[in-house]
Amino acid sequence: MLEQAVKTEELLKVENLKKYYPIRGGVFGGITGSVKAVDDVSFTVRKGETFSLVGESGCGKSTTGMCLARLVDPSSGKIYLNNANIHEANKSALKQYRRNIQIIFQDPYSSLNPKLTIRKILSEPLLINGYGSKLEIENRVLSLLEMVGLGSQHMDRYPHEFSGGQRQRIGIARAISLNPDIIICDEPVSALDVSIQSQLLNLLKDLQEEFGLTYIFISHDLSVVEHISDRVAVMYLGKIVEMGTTKEIFESPKHPYTRALLSSVPIANPKTKLMRKRIILEGDVPSPKNPPPGCSFHTRCPFKTEICEKSIPSEFQINKEHSVSCHLVENGAIF
């Protein structure tokens, strides 16, 4: 708790980020509509914290991550890292930026080049960014491997010789190699077994403590998110519906979607089964091609009223840390 109070320095600032993908169709293949993958998302990430984006598939959490790393170009919106403008950065500025913002991908099987040895994979970013002499690079690679719990005997092996968990460790080593400011972790443990998942989560936490790393953690797994994050943003259909400290979000969720999401998580304790009341949502997430008017959650919301169908709710501050986009919470209709 003390730790949380210290983290106030803003590192990354995102304002009104949008990513629309055009839909082509018709006789001449013109643009007939757009998929609003990320629709007006704003948040800030503080130095040294873990900020999580949670949501179901298709909610835009990964696209947000890709926009931040500039792996896809946002349609509009502003991104600042240490007050430097990223959304308009040119090629050379981007190179510098990418050094400071690294990404760990979900699938450890396809994110490592199968034709390169681990030595090559890990020294490439160092070479490109002019880390130093051959010997310095070699030493750095070795110390990176040790940091993630591997050793020199692994240097000259190829990715296929490693298990999923080990590959993900290599992915982590690659991400931390240039001492970045921020690491985007896009579902880093989703493809792994429970016992391996816990090893990696502990590793991520250890590295954060040791090097003061800042994580943007993208996941659909709420128990993992609760475990690792300081602050959480819940996304639904391209929008952030609720944002706050982990404690607030998990102990007193306000948005009906957050509540439903939390109550859907199966808990590995047969005793709680009878005690808790589940909110089971009806239907599926609507298509982002054609999102419902008004509040995008109203089609599945158990509490919806007339106003929800008509106007888009704006962000409502419950307190300094906790904001929610819901008419009903704003009106005081639900608590």
Partner 1 sequence: MLLIHTLSGSESEGVMLSPVLNINNLNVETTGRDAYSILDNIHFQVQAGETLAIVGESGSGKSMTALSILGLLPESGLRISSGEVLLEETNLTNLSDKNMNQIRGKEIGMIFQEPMTSLNPSFTIGNQLAETFKYHTNFFRKEIREQSIELLRRVKIPDPEEKLKAYPHELSGGMRQRVMIAMALACNPKVLIADEPTTALDVTIQAQILDILSDLQKSYGMTVILITHDLGVVAETCSRVIVMYAGQIVEEGSVDEIFESPKHPYTKALLLSMPMLGTSKKKLHTIKGVVPDIKKMPTGCRFHPRCEMATDMCRQQAPKLEQTEDGRRVRCWNKL
Where does this chain bind partner 1 (CB under 8 A)?
56-57, 163, 165, 193-199, 201-202, 205, 220, 222-224, 226-228, 250, 260-271, 273, 278, 280-285
Q: Can you list the alpha helix ranges (DSSP code H) found in 129-163?
A: 134-147
Shortest Å distance, C-beta 122 to partner 1: 21
Closer to partner 1 by CB, 135 or 268: give it: 268
Least separation in angstroms between residue 201's CB and partner 1 is 6
Assess contact for 168 and 200: CB atoms under 8 A: yes
CB of 128 to partner 1, least distance (A): 32
114 Cβ neighbours under 8 A, 6+ residues apart:
158, 159, 160
Closest to partner 1 by CB, 79 vs 237, is 237
Contact call for residues 225 and 217 (beta carbons, < 8 A): yes
Report the distance separating Cα 299 and Cα 307, nearest Å: 13
Nearer to partner 1, 31 or 279 (CB): 279
Tell me the residue ranges of DSSP E strands in 228-288. Answer: 231-236, 239-245
**Nearest-approach distance from CB 76 to partner 1, in angstroms:** 28
Q: Which residue's CB is nearer to partner 1, number 92 or number 269?
A: 269
Instruction: Name which of 45 and 281 has its Cβ closer to partner 1.
Output: 281
Evaluate whether 19 touches 74 at the Cβ level (below 8 Å).
yes
Cα–Cα distances in Å, from 57 out to 27, 60, 70, 208?
A: 32, 8, 21, 27
Q: Kindly state the smallest distance separating residue 162's Cβ from partner 1, in Å.
A: 10
Residue with Cβ nearer partner 1 (90 or 272): 272
Query: How many CB atoms are located within 10 Å of the residue 67 CB?
Result: 25
- Tell me how far apart the alpha carbons of residues 118 and 145 are, in angstroms, rounded to a whole number: 9
CB 273 within 8 A of CB 289: no
Q: Quote the least distance from Cβ 197 to partner 1, whole Å.
A: 7
**52, 112 Cβ separation under 8 angstroms:** no
Minimum distance from CB of 287 to partner 1 (Å)?
10
Q: Are the beta carbons of 52 and 45 closer than 8 angstroms? A: no
- Smallest distance from partner 1 to CB 145, Å: 17
**Least separation, in Å, of the C-beta of 226 and partner 1?**
6
Which residue number, 113 or 264, has a Cβ lying nearer to partner 1? Answer: 264
Residues 6 or more apart whose Cβ sits within 8 Å of residue 284: none
Q: Which tokens go with 108?
A: 């450890």
Kindly tell me which of 116 and 201 has the beta carbon lying closer to partner 1: 201
Asked whether the beta carbons of 129 and 65 are under 8 A apart, the reply is: no
SS3 294: coil
CA end-to-end distance (rounded Å), the chain: 25
Nearer to partner 1, 133 or 195 (CB): 195
Q: How many CB atoms lie within 10 A of CB 221?
A: 14
